[in-house]
Amino acid sequence: ELGAYSHFMQKEIYEQPKAVSDTAEIFLDAGFIAENFGENAEAVFNDIDSIKILACGTSYYAASTAKYWLESIAKIATDVEIASEYRYREVIANPKQLIITISQSGETLDTMEALKYAQAMGHKHSLSICNVMESALPRASELVVYTRAGAEIGVASTKAFTTQLVALFGLAVTLGRVRGYVDDTKLVEYTNALRSLPNDIQYALNLEPQISSWSSKFADKPSALFLGRGIHYPIALEGALKLKEITYIHAEAYPAGELKHGPLALVDENMPVVVIAPNDSLLDKVKANMQEVSARGGELFVFTDLDSDFSDSEGVHVIRTPRHIGVLSPIVHTIPVQLLSYHVALAKGTDVDKPRNLAKSVTVE
Ligand code: F6R
Task: Identify the pLDDT of residue 322.
Answer: 83
Q: How far is the CA of 334 from the centre of ligand 1 (A)?
A: 16
Please tell me if the CB atom of residue 147 comes closer than 6 angstroms to any atom of ligand 1.
no
Residue of 105, 157, 161 with the most ligand 1 atoms within 8 Å of its CB, for mutation: 157
Task: Identify the pLDDT of residue 365.
Answer: 87
pLDDT band at 363 (very low <50, low <70, confident <90, very high): confident
Closest CA to 86 of 60, 103, 61, 110: 110
Task: Identify the pLDDT of residue 279.
Answer: 93
Give this prediction's pTM: 0.97
Residue of 8, 58, 87, 101 with the most ligand 1 atoms within 8 Å of its CB, for mutation: 58
Q: How far is the CA of 189 from the centre of ligand 1 (A)?
A: 31
Please tell me if the CB atom of residue 157 comes closer than 6 angstroms to any atom of ligand 1.
yes
- Asked if residues 227 and 283 have their Cβ atoms less than 8 Å apart, the reply is no
Q: How far is the CA of 302 from the centre of ligand 1 (A)?
A: 26
What atom of ligand 1 comes closest to residue 105's alpha carbon?
15
Of residues 277 and 313, the one with the higher pLDDT is: 277
Q: Which of 75, 124, 287, 360 is catalytic?
A: 360
State the Rg of the chain over Cα. 20
Beta bridge partners of 54: 81, 101
Task: Identify the pLDDT of residue 364.
Answer: 86
Residue of 8, 56, 162 with the most ligand 1 atoms within 8 Å of its CB, for mutation: 56
Please tell me if the CB atom of residue 56 comes closer than 6 angstroms to any atom of ligand 1.
yes
pLDDT in tens, 292-318: 999 999 999 999 999 888 888 889 999
Please tell me if the CB atom of residue 58 comes closer than 6 angstroms to any atom of ligand 1.
yes
pLDDT in tens, 59-86: 999 999 999 999 999 999 999 999 999 9
Q: How far is the CA of 196 from the centre of ligand 1 (A)?
A: 27
- Mean pLDDT over all residues of the chain? 96
pLDDT at 22 over 90: yes
Q: How far is the CA of 66 from the centre of ligand 1 (A)?
A: 16
* ipTM surpasses cut 0.90: yes
Beta bridge partners of 320: 304
What atom of ligand 1 comes closest to residue 156's alpha carbon?
7
Helix (H, G, I), strand (E, B) or coil at 78: strand
Ligand 1, atom 9, lies closest to the CA of 57
Q: How far is the CA of 285 from the centre of ligand 1 (A)?
A: 31
pLDDT in tens, 100-144: 999 999 999 999 999 999 999 999 999 999 999 999 999 999 999
Sign of CA dihedral 318, 319, 323, 324: negative
Count the helix, strand and coil residues of the chain and give each as a percent rounded to the nearest 5: 50, 15, 35
What span, in angstroms and rounded, lies between the C-alpha atoms of 186 and 264? Answer: 40
pLDDT at 323 over 90: no
What span, in angstroms and rounded, lies between the C-alpha atoms of 237 and 333? Answer: 12
Task: Identify the pLDDT of residue 193.
Answer: 97
Catalytic status, residue 360 = yes
Please tell me if the CB atom of residue 156 comes closer than 6 angstroms to any atom of ligand 1.
yes
What span, in angstroms and rounded, lies between the C-alpha atoms of 170 and 195? Answer: 12
